[in-house]
Amino acid sequence: MQKFPYYPGCTLKQTAKNFEKSAIASARAIGIELVELPRWNCCGAVSSLTSDEIMRHVAPIRNLVRVQQMNDEGMLENEYRLITLCSMCFNVLKRSNMVVTGDAEMLHTINQFMDTEPDYEGTVEVMHFLEILRDVVGFDKLRARVKKPLKDLKISPYYGCTLLRPKEVGIDDAEAPTIMENFIEALGGEAVDNPYRSLCCGSYHTVGENKKIVAERTYKIINAARRNGADVIITSCPLCAFNLDNRQKLTKEMHPDFEYMPVLYFTQLMAIALGKEEDAGLEDNFVDPRPILRERGFLGVKQ
């Protein structure tokens, strides 16, 4: 087992437990152990974008200090690549890391501010689990580990915003990403095009009065997926997942012609393909993906 430090973030302990569960099981199936950071804290979910808010970087950076400590204390052997699953946490941690490592003065200020913590030395590399699969494991190796190829399953990848933008943070080309498509193909599935695969789902507008904005985006994104023949949608963001999955209810209320489509975390399909169906957490999805997966013969074969 190759051990990596792992940052879950709040939502993976709350509405996205199935994301974490399926990811840990999938990682294990390909020889990766996700070692949760001790005493991690909320990253803040969004980066502050004004020029004067240095202090908002403290929370993300404190988590990176934990990675240093894990190495110092022998929990890890010289492994500074921090794995994230939640796209928003990934974006915030990576952005803060870039900002402070590129600005010695700011790093100094932040270290002074966290005076009870060891200094952050700028050694951590924040990576998304998809990047690990592409760049460390390799999609070819992943393909070789697949026990149950998702043959003929038409999957619409949904990138959302925070995996791709801004460019300096994104894990792939902001306009023409391929990482999710290649991931789907490695699992034996068929990636279908969706012109709205990186269209913002409305994000935090899901809180409060403007949730109709979200439902409209959901309508647009899922309909495009359906038009292109998709059976399911995958994502890596718990907020996108909530908006695309749970908000289908509101979407249906607003657009009676709308038809439900399952929305899964990419790791849920990965768990199934790697023979870890029991850890896929499919029972937690709002639109139940089990009927279509069972119908296609991806579930219940072992029993």
Chain residues binding another protein by CB under 8 A are 9-11, 14-16, 42, 44-46, 48-52, 86, 88-89, 161, 164-167, 173-176, 195, 198-200, 202-210, 213, 217, 227, 238-239, 241-242
Closest to another protein by CB, 160 vs 289, is 160
Closest to another protein by CB, 123 vs 210, is 210
Query: Please, what is the minimum distance in Å from the beta carbon of residue 149 to another protein?
Result: 27
Query: Please, what is the minimum distance in Å from the beta carbon of residue 138 to another protein?
Result: 25
Query: Please, what is the minimum distance in Å from the beta carbon of residue 213 to another protein?
Result: 6
Closest to another protein by CB, 76 vs 250, is 250
Cα separation, 124 vs 76, in Å, equals 13
SS3 125: strand
Closest to another protein by CB, 173 vs 288, is 173
Query: Please, what is the minimum distance in Å from the beta carbon of residue 114 to another protein?
Result: 20
Query: Please, what is the minimum distance in Å from the beta carbon of residue 243 to another protein?
Result: 8
Vertex 62, ends 61 and 63: CA angle to 5°? 85
CA distances to 37, 46, 71, 137, 255 from 295, in Å: 39, 39, 46, 31, 27
Closest to another protein by CB, 201 vs 274, is 201
Cα separation, 153 vs 145, in Å, equals 18
CA distances to 47, 55, 103, 129, 288 from 44, in Å: 7, 11, 21, 20, 30
Cα separation, 137 vs 30, in Å, equals 8
User: In terms of DSSP H, where are the helices of the chain?
Assistant: 17-29, 58-72, 87-101, 104-113, 129-131, 139-145, 179-186, 211-227, 238-245, 248-254, 266-273, 290-295
Residues 6 or more apart whose CB falls under 8 angstroms from that of 259 comprise 226
Closest to another protein by CB, 18 vs 68, is 18
Closest to another protein by CB, 27 vs 45, is 45
Q: Which two tokens stand for residue 18?
A: 């199935």
